[in-house]
Amino acid sequence: MLAATRLTYRINRFEVWSITVMTVLSVIVSTAVVAWLAQSGYANCRGDEFGNMDAHCLSLAAIGDWVIRIDRASLSLVLLFPFIAGLLLGAPLVAREIDRGTARLAWSLSPSRLRWYVHRVTPILVVLGVAALAIGVVADRLTGALMPAEDLANSFVGFHGRGVLIATGALLVGSTAVALGAVLGRPMQTILLALVLGGLLQVAVSEVDRKVFLQNETVVDATGNYSDSNIYLDSRFVLPDGSLATWDELIAYDPSILTAEMGPTYPNVSLIIPGSRYRSVEAREALAELAIAAVMLVAGGVIVMRRRPG
Amino acid sequence: MEAALEAHGFGKRYRRRAWALRAVDLAVPSGSITALVGPNGSGKSTLIRSWIGFERPTEGSLLTGGVDPRRDRKGAVARVGYVPQSASLYSGLTIADHIAMAVTLREGFDPILAAGYVERLSIPLSAAAGELSGGEQAQVGLALALGTRAGILLLDEPLASLDPLARREFLHVLVEAVRAEGHTALLSSHVITDIEQACDRLVVLGKGHTLLDLSIAEALAHHRVVEGSGGAALAADRVVVGSFPSAGGERLTLVRVRAAEAVTADGRAGERPATLEEVVIGHMAAGRIRRPVAPAEEAA
């Protein structure tokens, strides 16, 4: 397996090097940003009610504003990483070999195409997973550096943009690209289709989670305080019997509110997923993405075993 | 005579298009080097790819070393060394890498044997495949196929784009290896001199099925050439195969002799012995028909 791994990295050296260099640079820059923000304390420089900062903060502002911009830009780019890495590493893996005819050579040498598939896919997915996990951890630190007071283990701040979901998202997109590449046998078409399908699958996971599973974890928040730590789902009106009603249900219950000058007087509450559920929600979505990635890889293997070599 | 490769009523149709091959019955004897010849699009590659399990028969059956590739593709691949028309090597890998990869993919692959064939042709093992000429790449493809130590070699027009010297070297290695190891080889080629040099048997495909399946010696003994388009009265034991222009432009006709005759310098009046090239071209001319039909359909 060691020799097969070495050869797979050599065959895909441009892609592997690109992602490795991108990840290492990202880690270095992010570490420097996080270290500077932590050391200088600039992230705590909020200014007074008129926006004026104290002398210490003002002395850091010239550099600090740039560091904050780099931090925010990095966090924005993190959202693209699962797609960039997943497509770059996953799409050519099988598609290019079919397109260039090297799959024909390999499949004529190997009685077991499954062995060839495992030799190709495993090392690349390891690189993809490790790189994306590193980026996810880095994004966690960058978010923490911007909001030192936030307990990120119990907060939905930067949800989907940090932590393990970056890694599972990349594996989902990469595996989708591998499977589509096995079907299409053309790298460019694979990249385009995997971009669309990978994106749709990620959105689907999040939406299904929100609509099916998160309903059970919804909490009624009557404090009226909005917090970035929570996921805000909807608002409801509290009826005299204590039950909750939507706006349409409220109109059906009390049509007079439509003509009331001051609007509805019923207490308003928010339906939220509290930040304390972050880890469980994150774990559930990560598992769902991993499960879909596994299905895609199995599908890719089945296609490889059945298709013509091109 | 034991057959290494067999086709029984084999037919292949791509999606809903016309049949590429139909009702092919063929047996390639063990230990032979058989040439597979036919016009472009006559289904040579389809047949070869089907024997290694890369294509599924639409009808009929195949046997590769006694194994049905449709039911047991692994078994079929394990019995075959395959050289495609384009060597399709990994351009970024060295030749040593290719041999190492073959070791990881196939149990029993002989890296020393493969490296030996490559080095004999002064191709450095450290050279990247992308830096090699077409002839050298074909040689590496052949070395990889020979390194499998498979009893059957399927060569799908590997010589098509090679210069004469590269072709000669390729065939030399092939013939030597096949004779030394007792392999069976099926070589698809358009170049008649290659066939004369390397092969002992000739199969011509056309009309979507087998037009000729004889040893080279039998093929020469069974055919004559007459000038003209064959309209003149022929002896009862002669059958017109096909007409074609000679290099000089005059019309020649290949006729088949019902019973093999010893080839004599003069032959019968108006006839002369056919060269192998004329045998092949005459049958290819006869096989130049668009839609392959089953023999029963043809008789009707």
Delimit the domains of chain B by residue range: 3-211, 216-299
Query: Tens of pLDDT along A193-216?
Result: 999 999 999 999 988 887 776 667
Q: Which amino acid is at B25?
A: D
Q: Which residues contact A246 (CB under 8 A, 6 or more apart)?
A: A234, A236, A237
Distance CA A85, CA A195 (A): 11
> Which stretches within B21-163 are classed as H helix?
44-51, 73-78, 95-105, 111-120, 134-147
Which residue in A101, A111, A308 is closest to B86 by CB distance? A101
Which residue in B52, B97, B105 is closest to A106 by CB distance? B105
- Strands B80-83 and B152-156 come out as parallel
Sheet-wide strand order for B59-64: B19-29, B3-13, B59-64
Band of the pLDDT at B266, cuts 50, 70, 90? low
Residues of A in contact with B109 (CB under 8 A): 109
Largest CA distance in chain B: 64
CB contact under 8 A, B87 and A105: yes
Best mutation target among B55, B83, B88 (most A Cβ atoms within 10 Å) is: B88
Q: Is the minimum CB–CB distance between B96 and chain A shorter than 8 Å? A: no
Say if CB B139 and CB B173 are below 8 A apart: yes
A vs B: CB pairs below 8 A: 72
Best mutation target among A1, A10, A13, A105 (most B Cβ atoms within 10 Å) is: A105
Band of the pLDDT at B287, cuts 50, 70, 90? low
Cβ neighbour number for residue B155 with a 10 Å cutoff: 28
CB contact under 8 A, A102 and B90: yes
CB contact under 8 A, A10 and B93: yes
* Percent of residues, chain A, with pLDDT higher than 70: 96
Distance CA A90, CA A191 (A): 9
Class of domain B3-211: alpha beta
Q: Which residues contact B94 (CB under 8 A, 6 or more apart)?
A: B125, B126, B127, B128, B129
Task: Give me chain A's average pLDDT, please.
Answer: 90
Q: Is the minimum CB–CB distance between B294 and chain A shorter than 8 Å? A: no
Task: Give me chain B's average pLDDT, please.
Answer: 85
DSSP letter, residue B77:
H
pLDDT of residue B93 exceeding 60? yes
CB contact under 8 A, B100 and A7: yes
Band of the pLDDT at B293, cuts 50, 70, 90? very low
For residue B21, the cross-strand partners are B12
- Taken as a whole, chain B contains a residue count of 300
Which residue in B88, B101, B145 is closest to A104 by CB distance? B88
Identify each DSSP E strand in chain B by its residue range: 3-13, 19-29, 33-37, 59-64, 80-83, 152-156, 184-188, 201-206, 209-215, 223-227, 238-245, 251-257, 271-273
Least confident residue range of A111-125, A222-236, A244-258: A222-236
Distance CA A231, CA A219 (A): 10
* Single pTM value for the model: 0.86
- State the smallest CA–CA distance between residue B214 and chain A in angstroms: 28
Return the residue of B nearest to A104 by Cα: B88
Mean local confidence (pLDDT), B174-179: 89
Query: Tens of pLDDT along A144-191?
Result: 988 888 899 999 999 999 999 999 999 999 999 999 999 999 999 999
CB contact under 8 A, B105 and A309: no
- State the smallest CA–CA distance between residue A12 and chain B in angstroms: 9
CA angle B273–B279–B284, rounded 5-degree value: 155
Q: Which residue has the tokens 């495909």?
A: B205
Q: Is the minimum CB–CB distance between B38 and chain A shorter than 8 Å? A: no
Q: What is the dihedral of CA A99, A100, A105, A107, to 10 degrees?
A: -20
Say if CB A93 and CB A122 are below 8 A apart: no
CB contact under 8 A, A7 and B97: yes
Query: Tens of pLDDT along A130-142?
Result: 999 999 999 999 9
Least confident residue range of A36-45, A246-255, B110-119: A36-45
Q: Which amino acid is at A107?
A: W
Say if CB B270 and CB B232 are below 8 A apart: yes
Q: Which amino acid is at B182?
A: G
Q: What pLDDT score does B300 carry?
A: 43
Say if CB A231 and CB A273 are below 8 A apart: yes
- What sign does the dihedral A84-A90-A95-A98 (CA atoms) show? positive
Mean local confidence (pLDDT), B264-292: 73
pLDDT of residue A48 exceeding 90? no
Query: What would the 3-class secondary structure string for chain A be?
Result: CHHHHHHHHHHCHHHHHHHHHHHHHHHHHHHHHHHHHHHHCHHHCCCCCCCCCCHHHHHHHHHHHHHHHHHHHHHHHHCCHHHHHHHHHHHHHHHHHHHHCHHHHHHHHCCCHHHHHHHHHHHHHHHHHHHHHHHHHHHHHHHHHHCCCCCHHHCCCCCCCCCHHHHHHHHHHHHHHHHHHHHHCCHHHHHHHHHHHHHHHHHHHHHHHHHHHHHHHCEEECCCCCCCCCEEEEEEEECCCCCEECHHHHHHHCHHHHCCCCCCCCCEEEEEECHHHHHHHHHHHHHHHHHHHHHHHHHHHHHHHHCCCC
Copy the structure tokens of residue B17: 């298009």
Question: Of residues A17 and A69, which shows the higher confidence score?
Answer: A17
Band of the pLDDT at B298, cuts 50, 70, 90? very low
Query: Tens of pLDDT along B12-58?
Result: 888 777 788 888 899 999 999 999 998 888 888 999 999 999 999 99
Cβ neighbour number for residue A251 with a 10 Å cutoff: 14
CB contact under 8 A, B84 and A108: yes
Mean local confidence (pLDDT), B198-214: 87
- Axis crossing angle, helix A164-184 with helix A113-146, rounded to the nearest 10: 150
Say if CB B102 and CB B117 are below 8 A apart: no
Copy the structure tokens of residue A219: 């909490």
